Amino acid sequence: MKVLKWVLIVLGSLIAIFLIYSASQSNQLNVEESITINAPADKIFYEISHFENWMEWSVWSKLDAEMEQEFSETMGEVGSYSEWKSNHPRVGNGRQEVVEIRPNEYQKVAMQFEGMEGTAYAAFILEPSDDGVLVRWTFEGAETPFYMNWINGLIEPELRKNYVAGLEALKVYVEGMADDVQLPAGTSIEEMEAQMIISIVDSTTGEGISAKLTEMYTELSIFVESNQDLNMAGMPLAIYHDYAPERVIMEGAFTVQGSAESAGRVKVRELPQGTVIKGIHYGDYAASEDLHNAIYGYIEASDYEMAGSPWEVYANDPTMVDSADVETHIFYPIAK
């Protein structure tokens, strides 16, 4: 009986010590690491926000080449997600979903891990620095009951090591890409939301573009006025499906809100969401060709490819501003 009594005392003491130690640890795992990457912010953010590209630099992706992964159809927006299943003990099964995003600046994801309760959050913060872009990567774990706090102390060193290794791999990967080809000055890679448009497809010559757009915009304006449930939602745009001086196939369009049915040659459709290269040209429209050529040349020289026809948005009325202030937004849809 005395032996059993001492065993119980020792066991109770060990449990008490363990609980005291666990209670002394943080009830939430927090990690932050950072690195400076010498590359444009939009280039870095594209790799961060497109989860399918994490295979190129993520430590966990490289731990298990047989890992099963599933990705949302769209990336770079709230709701984009990735799910993974792995038999590797350091990877396991889980899901991450974007809950907050500011393109080229900030992305926060909610994370669930199979076998663990609660939701953890990770974020990337991009900040300009003298040597490029400071990329901060944070992790905020779910709160744990006091008797489980010891797990946070156990996980923290391994997680921090993987964060450091992941950022270093991201730096090597992105800087290697950036050395190959640079985005044209004044352009950026952005994620576009889907837009409802009404449009007319027609053809003309290079010299007849202005007159043809005026004709199409007039017809589209009449269509809007005749549909009470339809409202203009932005400045006019033109989608260029084929361009040669002797023949231009183009689609004059308005972005709209509301509802309407296609009628005659006026079509109601969606300009799909996706990744684009955006540039802004100021001044005489005829001089915008240089920016078009620069963007197209970049796509040809990079890992991207065209994912549709380019379009222009005429952001202000040329009759209302000085010629030098005429603003044309140019968009080229891209994919890898």
* Tens-place pLDDT, residues 30-57: 889 999 999 989 889 999 999 999 989 9
User: Which ranges of the chain would DSSP assign to H, the alpha helix?
Assistant: 2-24, 41-49, 59-63, 150-180, 209-225, 289-301
Q: Six-digit token pair at 171?
A: 């730096």
Domains and CATH numbers, the chain: 25-179 (3.30.530.20), 187-335 (3.20.80.10)
| C-alpha separations of 225 from 182, 200, 232 in Å | 45, 16, 10
Beta-bridge partner residues of 140? 30, 121
What percent of the chain stands above pLDDT 90? 60
| Model pLDDT, residue 176 | 84
Pair 149, 30: CB distance under 8 Å: no
| Model pLDDT, residue 311 | 96
* Tens-place pLDDT, residues 252-267: 999 999 999 999 999 9
Q: In the structure, what pLDDT confidence band is assigned to residue 26 with cuts at 50, 70 and 90?
A: low
Question: For the chain, what is the largest distance between any 2 Cα atoms, rounded to a whole number of angstroms?
Answer: 105
Asked if residue 78 has pLDDT above 90, the reply is yes
| Model pLDDT, residue 285 | 83
| Model pLDDT, residue 17 | 42
Count other Cβ atoms within 10 Å, centred on residue 87: 11
| Model pLDDT, residue 88 | 86
Asked if residue 24 has pLDDT above 70, the reply is no
Asked if residue 11 has pLDDT above 90, the reply is no
* Tens-place pLDDT, residues 208-226: 999 999 999 999 999 999 9
Q: Could you give the CA distance from residue 52 to residue 74 in angstroms, rounded to a whole number?
A: 11
Residue 129 makes CB contacts below 8 A (sequence gap 6+) with 36
